Amino acid sequence: MITVEHLTHLSPNSQNALTKLLGRCIDSGASLGFYKAAESNMLTKYWQSINRELENKLRLLYILYDNNEVQATVQLALCHKQNGRHRAEVEKLLVQPSAHRKGYATKLMAYVESHALKQGIQLLVLDTQSGDKAELFYQASGYTKVGQIPNYVSDQEGRFHSTSYYYKHLKL
């Protein structure tokens, strides 16, 4: 059974599961701010910082479970500027590498977009490495590409890659 949960804090079990998921995604080649094979302590520190942001209501975190197993997660970084509270940034859409092409990302993003509207968020923005398969997913999900920045990120060999920017207006 597939369920989606909005978490307001990370339990040790959730943090452990998310650390493993992030590590697997990085090891499978995803560009997520860490070089392949990221050190476990770096990933743990990352989730600890996310937990602080959840507790301070700076971010929303969602997890998709299939039969009580974490299969996917995504975050919304909230804008707290007075003139920007209607928007959020989609960050770290992660799907278990062994579970790709099962529709988890689509189900999770549909839930997130619906929940975002209920929170008064009407505009989502995101970035992803140009040429990555994630671009096709976001385009198929109704996101519009507005451009790219060359040489935005580097890989562990020192090669630079462009990042593409997308947005989606959520329908009321």
pLDDT digit string (tens) for 53-76?
999 999 999 999 999 999 999 999
CATH number of the domain bearing residue 102:
3.40.630.30
Q: What are residue 65's DSSP bridge partners?
A: 3, 70
What's the CA gap between 24 and 31, in Å, rounded? 12
What pLDDT is stored for residue 36 in this prediction? 82
Q: What are residue 126's DSSP bridge partners?
A: 166
Residue numbers in the chain where pLDDT is lower than 50 = none
What pLDDT is stored for residue 104 in this prediction? 97
> Domain for residue 135, yes or no?
no
> Domain for residue 44, yes or no?
yes
> Domain for residue 28, yes or no?
yes
What pLDDT is stored for residue 39 in this prediction? 85
Q: What are residue 144's DSSP bridge partners?
A: 167
What pLDDT is stored for residue 144 in this prediction? 98
> Which domain covers residue 101, as residue numbers?
2-127
Number of domains making up the chain: 1
Strands 144-154 and 160-169: antiparallel
> Domain for residue 92, yes or no?
yes
What pLDDT is stored for residue 82 in this prediction? 95
Distance from chain centroid for Cα 41: 20
